[in-house]
Structure 1
Amino acid sequence: MEKIRHDLRLSEAISPFGVGAIVDVRGESLMAPDTSWWDKKHAHEISCERLVARLGGGVLRQPPAHAGRAGKETPALPYWRFPAWRFCERCDRLSKLTGRKRGKWSNTCECGGALVPMRYIAVCEKGSHAQDINWFQWAHRGRAATRNEAVRHCRDYKSLRFHKLATRGEGLAALVVKCHGCGNERKLSELVTKGALQQDGIRCAGRQPWQPEDSVKEACPYELVAVQRGATGNYIADRISALDIPEERPQSVEAADKIREHDLFSRVVADNGGPQSEMFAQVIANELGVTAETVLGVAAGEETSASEMLLDLKDGEWAAFLKKLHAGRDRTGSDFVVDGRSLEGVAGPRSLLDKISGVGQVHRVREVRALRGFRRHSLEAALIDADLGANRRYQPTYPAIELFGEGIFLRFDEERIAAWEARPEVRARADILRTRRAGSPWAGRLDVPEPRYIALHTLAHLLIRRLAFASGYASAALQERIYANSDRADRTAGILIYTAAGDAQGTLGGLVRLGEPRKLIPLLVAALDDADFCSNDPVCIESDHQRVSQLNLSACHGCALVSETSCETGNRLLDRQLVLGGSDVRGLLDDVLPEVRRSG
């Protein structure tokens, strides 16, 4: 094993250089093996019960970190050389062999030239496996091998060369792998055609590069495809994050508990939908301030779905934010500090103030991000767990990091947003994205694009772009978390914009100070004004088919898109018309700018 010292940022060990990803280090091409290879004593455990519950159990561990320069005994992560096939930049020799220098392994050829990793690897189309292309085997296949006995039986392993033919111009046709023993050569253009590896008899090994051969229990039935080593589709990380907050129970669940504790509830259940159950349900409803339908629903067992929704991370976060908003000034001193602020007496357009029911200045918040696994080649491929250890039992280890930061929370008025999204033209516009999402490979990774989600998501992007000018943080440093769902007992309608850093002291306060309502309302108006005119208008505002899989309507880089690392959905499910209005649809905040311009 060769020790190569190279520092990564702690967050890079989760993404983009987490388990299963290829990272270039000092001319070497390396891949991070799963967490069963980690030295656990140097990877301290991170606590976040909410996230562990969502993952179905296990342990969250932070990759080893150090301050200052790394020494021989500094804890480190293991990496596996991949691809193993390399060619010499001086003599063009192509092999898996590693040179030796003064008795130690070295990334140099016998001639002294540096070894360069081959640019193509093989990836399984559906199984998310990756492997080296056996270049010697590939070079001796093809049409020449069927006609020439010498090519088919060649065993001159040291005569393989990889070079460029200047007479063939540019492109893959000019790059050839040639065996100087038998004289056969093949162009790389033959490698990338559909089914090329299958035709050459190269099959998927059914494992990851760092796994031993005896770890495969059954053969992989899927075909291999040759892809460039640095292609982004070779590694699709499946990350999950949670805010470490006191888990609060949604109001509907608390109401259901009070209903069950009422003296007359047993009679409602006993009558099982009869006339007496309706009478007693009305009595309970009057005393507890709920509806009779709610009481009957609890008696019929409909509360089960509400209990299951507690497993969703955002449900608990929403309930916790509401509790903080109602409590006013927060003096707890915990890792979740939010000051609830009122909009009473704040100057601004009434059409905007009436739609916002609460503002929270998030002075401190702790976020935990974990890597659940990864896929290769496509989103339909199998998910490879971050821990492939055979003896993991029920305690898989997930790479995780914790970050501390600040933010701004906005809660929108439920009655007004519900009345807006009930309009037929609003629902019809949102249904465009709902239909496209259903047919997209991203469906399982995206929220349901109902009108409130699209509008609040787009507004979050507009605000991030404006905050980048005023907060001192770059746009890529700001994150969003959208709470917008009407298909549950406790409807949500709000956004959180926050920033977080790996230092335990958190961030510098440049964002939270802008959460003061007298500063925030002008920023919101300015964000809407920025989006009113896009440099790509009228094409952008009249569009209903932008971005990958056409999962954006009126939204582009000129108006609403932000850094993909800032967005929950990778810059998808956006539409300015559902915020600012259009020729055929009313926007959630379409009357704000006209009011401002009339008064100004």
Structure 2
Amino acid sequence: MERIKHDLRLSETVSPFGVGAIVDIRGESLIAPDTSWWDKKFSPEIHCERLVERIGQSVLREAPTHSGRTGKDTLGLLYWRFPAWRFCERCSKLSAQTGRKKGKWTNTCFCGGSLVPMRYVAVCEKGSHLQDIPWFMWAHRGRDAGATESVRFCRSYKELRFVRSAKHGEGLKSLRVECGGCKRSRPLSDLVTKGALGRDGIRCKGVQPWQEPESGSACEHTLIATQRGATGNYIAERISALDIPEELPRSAEAADAIRGHMFFEKVVADNGGPQAHLVAGWIADELGVTPEEVLNVASGVDEPSDAALLDLKDGEWAAFLKKLTRTGRDQSYGDFVVDSWRVSDQQGVPPALSARLTSIGQVRRVREVRALTGFRRHTAEADLISADLSIDGKRRPVFPAIEVYGEGIFLRFDEQFLTEWEKRPEVKARAGILIERRNRTQWAQRLDVPEPRYVALHTIAHLLIRRLAFASGYSSASLQERIYAQSDRPDRTAGILIYTAAGDAQGTLGGLVRLGDPDKLVPILLAALDDADVCSNDPVCIESDRQGATSLNLSACHGCSLISETSCETANRLLDRQLVLGGSSVPGLLDGVLEEVRSTDR
């Protein structure tokens, strides 16, 4: 096998070239095997207790790194050649063999021409498996393949060719696999019809390309031929967490205090009876909570959801709230430093904006850990393949991870104003369109629930990122968002974190955090709203309620709201300008802010 040395950015080992991904490098098509193939001695462990607690007992490891030029003994990751079948650019010969040059295996044909990987591979419809298409077998199958004995019993394994011929038509009909022995010729258009591989007797082996098939590993699901570079061939499951001194949410602290009260057992014993309500009132008066909270704790209604990302965000939200209680410079040390400011204390802020936006945090330093837990293929409903396929069961799974350090801006919105706004029937109806579409699409149910506050704050984050890219010195693809906007959690959240984190450096240069100063951020936010007030695609965009993938955007397009998909939590979905700025029949969360500013300027 030819040994290829190629540099990747450290962040690319998690996305987009992580475990199970097909990678094109220097004319080669390669695939990354799972972490059981990693040399653990040279893969440093990354520690983030918050993340490990949510994803289950595991070990997070960073890929080996090096400095300087690559050499013979440079540490690295193993990648397998896939697909193995390639054709020669010079002689068109199709083969899974590799040529030799001066005694070494190379990616060249025996005639000296370069080998090009075949463009189609076989993907399991439900099992997330991937394998080569057996081209010799496929070329000698089909409806008329048994018409002659020469085709049925052909053994000319070395005479297969991949040719282009316009005389048979255009598109895939012009691309054919031909056998020089029996003269059988078959177009690639036969490959992509529904159930084509199954009709030809090609079955799923039930493994990944770097695994050896074992007895009983065959999969019962159908194989589908797809292009090698198709987006659906690799759907990564990633999760990230901010490394912060996690605080208990207020509801969790209150629940602990309620359980520790000396009369709590009486509430539990009466199980909703009259005595339980009486004693719950006593406990509520003493602890400063409501009787309903006491009864909910006793009945177990307060138990939190086990959704990993939401649990992570609950702890982060509580930590940010603790930082925001003290205004001014943060004198603490470590990897979580936030200066905070109350918007109402600042001069020159429009009253309409200060009624909605309560606090601003300048996140001077933050550490984020990103982990790849697995992947799916073909559809988001397919089986999840773990990033560690070791089956010994004697150790915790190893997941690829990176740690990144950065800076950011945190915005907290007024909970009371949000609650009153999202109760309005017009607002509910507008967000209900997205909720219905999300519920109708199975894969979309993995996204956040697009309740009004989430859609509005998510859209504001996008508008800010687009504007901050002009002033911060970072490209929009370098900025990330984290939306805290859930009303169905024990502690309601209403905030936005926009941050940047570099995986190949120990920090950033402050270009973003300096813009978190209220004197700078408020004008930037107003400019972002002004940019979004009129889109280059209006009136089509503002009047639309069906844009984006699976129509999961309303009034939002590339001209006004969309950013790099890698920067967005939901890959540019669940956006709507009308829920921010208002529309003909719906009031926006920041409706009236621009009008107030413009009237003052006059």
TM-score above 0.5, yes or no: yes
Superimposed CA distance per residue, residues 373-424 of structure 1 (whole angstroms, 9 cap, x where no aligned partner): 1111111111111111122535111011111000000111111100000111
> Which range moved further: 496-505 or 302-311?
302-311
Aligned residue for 2:147? 147
**Deviation of 1:489 (Å):** 1.9
**CA distance, structure 2, for counterparts of residue 202 and residue 296 of structure 1:** 60
Question: Is the 1:57–1:394 contact (alpha carbons within 8 Å) kept by the matching residues of 2?
Answer: no
**CA distance, structure 1, for counterparts of residue 299 and residue 48 of structure 2:** 35
> Which range moved further: 292-301 or 452-461?
292-301
**CA distance, structure 2, for counterparts of residue 586 and residue 429 of structure 1:** 10
Q: How does 1:75-86 map to 2 (within 5 A)?
A: 75-86=75-86
Aligned residue for 1:262? 261
**CA distance, structure 1, for counterparts of residue 494 and residue 205 of structure 2:** 48
Question: Is the 2:121–2:133 contact (alpha carbons within 8 Å) kept by the matching residues of 1?
Answer: yes
**Deviation of 1:200 (Å):** 1.0
**Deviation of 1:311 (Å):** 7.2
Aligned residue for 1:46? 46
Aligned CA-pair RMSD:
1.7
**CA distance, structure 1, for counterparts of residue 518 and residue 335 of structure 2:** 23
Q: Secondary structure at the match of 1:157?
A: coil
**CA distance, structure 1, for counterparts of residue 299 and residue 274 of structure 2:** 15
> Which range moved further: 518-527 or 551-560?
518-527
| Number of residue equivalences | 599
Cα 1:164–1:308 change in 2 (3 A) is closer
Aligned residue for 1:12? 12
**Deviation of 1:163 (Å):** 1.3
TM superposition score normalised by structure 2: 0.96
Q: How does 1:369-518 map to 2 (within 5 A)?
A: 369-518=370-519
Q: Secondary structure at the match of 1:312?
A: helix
Amino acid at match of 1:572: R
Question: Is the 2:302–2:490 contact (alpha carbons within 8 Å) kept by the matching residues of 1?
Answer: no
Question: Is the 1:306–1:489 contact (alpha carbons within 8 Å) kept by the matching residues of 2?
Answer: no
Cα 1:20–1:268 change in 2 (3 A) is closer
**CA distance, structure 1, for counterparts of residue 201 and residue 540 of structure 2:** 50
Question: Is the 1:99–1:107 contact (alpha carbons within 8 Å) kept by the matching residues of 2?
Answer: yes
Question: Is the 1:10–1:65 contact (alpha carbons within 8 Å) kept by the matching residues of 2?
Answer: yes
Amino acid at match of 1:506: G
**Deviation of 1:441 (Å):** 3.2
Cα 1:49–1:63 change in 2 (3 A) is same
Superimposed CA distance per residue, residues 529-561 of structure 1 (whole angstroms, 9 cap, x where no aligned partner): 111101111111111111111101111111111
Amino acid at match of 1:559: C
Superimposed CA distance per residue, residues 349-381 of structure 1 (whole angstroms, 9 cap, x where no aligned partner): 101111112111100001111111111111111
Amino acid at match of 1:418: T
Amino acid at match of 2:325: H
Q: Secondary structure at the match of 2:408?
A: strand
**Deviation of 1:279 (Å):** 3.3
Q: How does 1:157-556 map to 2 (within 5 A)?
A: 157-168=157-168, 170-214=170-214, 217-305=216-304, 312-328=311-327, 329-343=329-343, 344-556=345-557
Aligned residue for 2:59? 59
Q: Secondary structure at the match of 1:213?
A: coil
Question: Is the 2:30–2:82 contact (alpha carbons within 8 Å) kept by the matching residues of 1?
Answer: yes
Superimposed CA distance per residue, residues 428-468 of structure 1 (whole angstroms, 9 cap, x where no aligned partner): 11111000001113323200011100000001001111111
**CA distance, structure 2, for counterparts of residue 296 and residue 162 of structure 1:** 72
Cα 1:225–1:311 change in 2 (3 A) is closer
Q: Secondary structure at the match of 1:327?
A: coil
**CA distance, structure 1, for counterparts of residue 366 and residue 393 of structure 2:** 32
Question: Is the 1:404–1:504 contact (alpha carbons within 8 Å) kept by the matching residues of 2?
Answer: yes
**Deviation of 1:233 (Å):** 1.3
Aligned residue for 1:563? 564
**CA distance, structure 1, for counterparts of residue 177 and residue 275 of structure 2:** 85
User: Sequence identity, in percent?
Assistant: 69
**CA distance, structure 1, for counterparts of residue 308 and residue 208 of structure 2:** 36
Give the gaps of 5 or more residues in structure 2: none
Cα 1:278–1:225 change in 2 (3 A) is closer
**CA distance, structure 2, for counterparts of residue 309 and residue 175 of structure 1:** 47
Question: Is the 1:404–1:503 contact (alpha carbons within 8 Å) kept by the matching residues of 2?
Answer: no
Cα 1:59–1:444 change in 2 (3 A) is farther
Point out 4+ residue stretches in structure 1 off by more than 6 angstroms: 306-311
TM superposition score normalised by structure 1: 0.97
**Deviation of 1:103 (Å):** 1.4
Q: Secondary structure at the match of 2:144?
A: helix
Question: Is the 1:404–1:505 contact (alpha carbons within 8 Å) kept by the matching residues of 2?
Answer: yes
Give the gaps of 5 or more residues in structure 1: none
Question: Is the 1:123–1:376 contact (alpha carbons within 8 Å) kept by the matching residues of 2?
Answer: yes
Cα 1:579–1:153 change in 2 (3 A) is same
**Deviation of 1:258 (Å):** 2.0
**Deviation of 1:271 (Å):** 4.3
Q: Secondary structure at the match of 2:177?
A: strand
**Deviation of 1:172 (Å):** 1.4
**Deviation of 1:90 (Å):** 1.1
Cα 1:267–1:145 change in 2 (3 A) is closer
**Deviation of 1:160 (Å):** 0.9
**CA distance, structure 2, for counterparts of residue 309 and residue 116 of structure 1:** 42
**Deviation of 1:308 (Å):** 8.5
Aligned residue for 2:590? 589
Q: How does 1:108-127 map to 2 (within 5 A)?
A: 108-127=108-127
> Which range moved further: 404-413 or 342-351?
342-351
Amino acid at match of 2:114: A
